[in-house]
Amino acid sequence: MTDQKEMEAASHHVVSPKIYVAILFALLIGTALTVGASYVNLGVFNPIIAIAIACGKAMLVVLFFMHVKYSSKLTKLTVFAGIFTFLTLIGMTLADYISRAWGQW
């Protein structure tokens, strides 16, 4: 029983509340930035900046709130493979869409 507990303590990484507070503030700042950016006319860059900020926020959530940064290699590989497959599927769909009626996007 004691061995069990020690093993758990050794392998199970506990993320400290300080990191959670820092991530919360980073996410709140990100939200303020994305709302602020939408009030400035940046033309085609409006959606690009909005999606870039959203990706950054999502990455913070995945790495810290969801503990992927402190997880096993199996978890890291699973998450990476999932995102990679997802982007591949979107990429293939868009490639099909763009190439069907060339010029008429």
What is the contact mask toward another protein in residues 32 to 51, using x (rule: CB under 8 A)? --xx-xxxxxxx--xx--xx
Q: Choose, by CB under 8 A, the member of 2, 5, 99, 103 that binds another protein.
A: 5
Of residues 54, 17, 10, 16, the one with CA closest to residue 34: 54
Provide the token pair at 5: 């507990």
| Greatest Cα-to-Cα distance within the chain, rounded to the nearest angstrom | 68
Q: Does residue 62 contact residue 68 with C-beta atoms inside 8 Å?
A: yes
Q: Report phi then psi at 45, rounded to 5.
A: -80, -15
Provide the token pair at 90: 């979107």
Query: Does residue 2 belong to the site contacting another protein (CB under 8 A)?
Result: no
Query: Does residue 90 belong to the site contacting another protein (CB under 8 A)?
Result: yes
Instruction: Name the residues that contact another protein, by CB under 8 A.
Output: 1, 4-5, 7-8, 11-12, 14-17, 20-21, 23-24, 27-28, 31, 34-35, 37-43, 46-47, 50-51, 53-54, 57-58, 61-62, 64-67, 71-72, 74-75, 78-79, 82-83, 85-86, 89-90, 93-94, 97, 105
